[in-house]
Protein backbone atom coordinates (compact mmCIF):
# COMPACT_ATOMS: atom_id res chain seq x y z
CA UNK A 1 0.00 0.00 0.00
CA UNK A 2 1.43 3.38 -0.99
CA UNK A 3 2.08 6.29 1.30
CA UNK A 4 -0.32 9.21 0.99
CA UNK A 5 1.53 12.43 0.22
CA UNK A 6 0.20 15.56 1.89
CA UNK A 7 -0.35 18.63 -0.28
CA UNK A 8 0.40 22.02 1.24
CA UNK A 9 -0.78 25.39 -0.02
CA UNK A 10 1.65 27.98 -1.31
CA UNK A 11 0.80 30.20 1.66
CA UNK A 12 1.71 27.44 4.13
CA UNK A 13 5.01 26.86 2.33
CA UNK A 14 5.81 30.58 2.35
CA UNK A 15 5.05 30.86 6.05
CA UNK A 16 7.15 27.79 6.92
CA UNK A 17 10.13 29.14 4.98
CA UNK A 18 9.69 32.60 6.51
CA UNK A 19 9.58 31.13 10.03
CA UNK A 20 12.67 29.03 9.37
CA UNK A 21 14.58 32.09 8.16
CA UNK A 22 13.46 34.71 10.68
CA UNK A 23 12.63 32.92 13.93
CA UNK A 24 16.21 32.19 14.91
CA UNK A 25 15.22 28.61 15.70
CA UNK A 26 16.82 25.61 14.00
CA UNK A 27 14.96 24.38 10.93
CA UNK A 28 14.36 21.01 12.59
CA UNK A 29 12.57 22.69 15.50
CA UNK A 30 10.41 24.85 13.20
CA UNK A 31 9.53 21.77 11.14
CA UNK A 32 8.63 19.77 14.25
CA UNK A 33 6.38 22.60 15.51
CA UNK A 34 4.60 22.72 12.13
CA UNK A 35 4.27 18.94 11.91
CA UNK A 36 6.36 18.61 8.76
CA UNK A 37 9.81 17.27 7.94
CA UNK A 38 12.86 19.51 7.83
CA UNK A 39 13.60 18.24 4.33
CA UNK A 40 10.29 19.78 3.21
CA UNK A 41 11.41 23.20 4.38
CA UNK A 42 14.77 22.78 2.65
CA UNK A 43 13.01 21.74 -0.58
CA UNK A 44 10.59 24.67 -0.41
CA UNK A 45 13.46 27.10 0.14
CA UNK A 46 15.10 25.69 -2.98
CA UNK A 47 11.83 26.05 -4.96
CA UNK A 48 11.47 29.69 -3.87
CA UNK A 49 15.05 30.37 -4.96
CA UNK A 50 14.52 28.72 -8.37
CA UNK A 51 11.00 29.90 -9.23
CA UNK A 52 10.62 33.12 -7.26
CA UNK A 53 7.99 33.90 -4.66
CA UNK A 54 5.05 34.07 -7.07
CA UNK A 55 5.65 30.90 -9.08
CA UNK A 56 6.29 28.22 -6.48
CA UNK A 57 4.51 25.00 -7.38
CA UNK A 58 1.93 23.84 -4.89
CA UNK A 59 -1.73 23.09 -4.64
CA UNK A 60 -3.23 24.57 -7.80
CA UNK A 61 -0.04 26.36 -8.87
CA UNK A 62 1.79 24.33 -11.49
CA UNK A 63 4.51 25.23 -13.90
CA UNK A 64 3.48 25.29 -17.58
CA UNK A 65 5.41 22.06 -18.19
CA UNK A 66 3.57 20.27 -15.35
CA UNK A 67 0.21 21.53 -16.66
CA UNK A 68 0.99 20.28 -20.18
CA UNK A 69 2.15 16.92 -18.81
CA UNK A 70 -1.06 16.54 -16.80
CA UNK A 71 -3.23 17.49 -19.78
CA UNK A 72 -1.45 14.97 -22.03
CA UNK A 73 -1.84 12.20 -19.45
CA UNK A 74 -5.59 12.89 -19.20
CA UNK A 75 -5.91 12.87 -22.99
CA UNK A 76 -3.94 9.63 -23.27
CA UNK A 77 -6.19 7.98 -20.66
CA UNK A 78 -9.32 9.08 -22.55
CA UNK A 79 -7.99 7.81 -25.90
CA UNK A 80 -7.01 4.47 -24.35
CA UNK A 81 -10.51 4.07 -22.90
CA UNK A 82 -12.07 4.84 -26.30
CA UNK A 83 -9.76 2.27 -27.94
CA UNK A 84 -10.68 -0.39 -25.38
CA UNK A 85 -14.39 0.25 -25.90
CA UNK A 86 -14.00 -0.10 -29.66
CA UNK A 87 -12.02 -3.35 -29.25
CA UNK A 88 -14.79 -4.80 -27.08
CA UNK A 89 -17.42 -3.73 -29.57
CA UNK A 90 -15.56 -5.33 -32.48
CA UNK A 91 -15.09 -8.57 -30.56
CA UNK A 92 -18.78 -8.71 -29.63
CA UNK A 93 -19.98 -8.11 -33.19
CA UNK A 94 -17.49 -10.54 -34.72
CA UNK A 95 -18.46 -13.21 -32.16
CA UNK A 96 -22.21 -12.81 -32.96
CA UNK A 97 -21.70 -13.27 -36.70
CA UNK A 98 -19.97 -16.67 -36.31
Count structural domains, the chain: 2
pLDDT band at residue 48 under the 50/70/90 scheme: confident
Residues 91 and 74 grouped into a single domain = yes
| 11 and 43 part of one domain | yes
Global pTM? 0.51
Query: What is the full DSSP assignment across 28-66?
Result: HHHHHHHTS-HHHHHHHHHHHHHH-GGG--BTTB--HHH
CA distance 36 to 95: 57
Is residue 52, in this structure, part of any structural domain at all? yes
In this structure, the answer to whether residues 72 and 54 fall within a common structural domain is: no
- pLDDT, one tens digit per residue, over 64-78 is 888 899 899 999 999
Residue 84 lies in domain: 63-98
Same domain assignment for residues 14 and 43:
yes
- If you average pLDDT over every residue of the chain, what do you get? 83
Asked if the structure places residue 34 within a domain, the reply is yes
48 and 75 in a single domain? The answer is: no
pLDDT of residue 78: 94
Amino acid sequence: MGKIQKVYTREFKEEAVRLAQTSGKPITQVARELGISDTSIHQWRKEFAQHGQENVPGSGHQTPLEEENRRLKRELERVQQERDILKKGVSIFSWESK
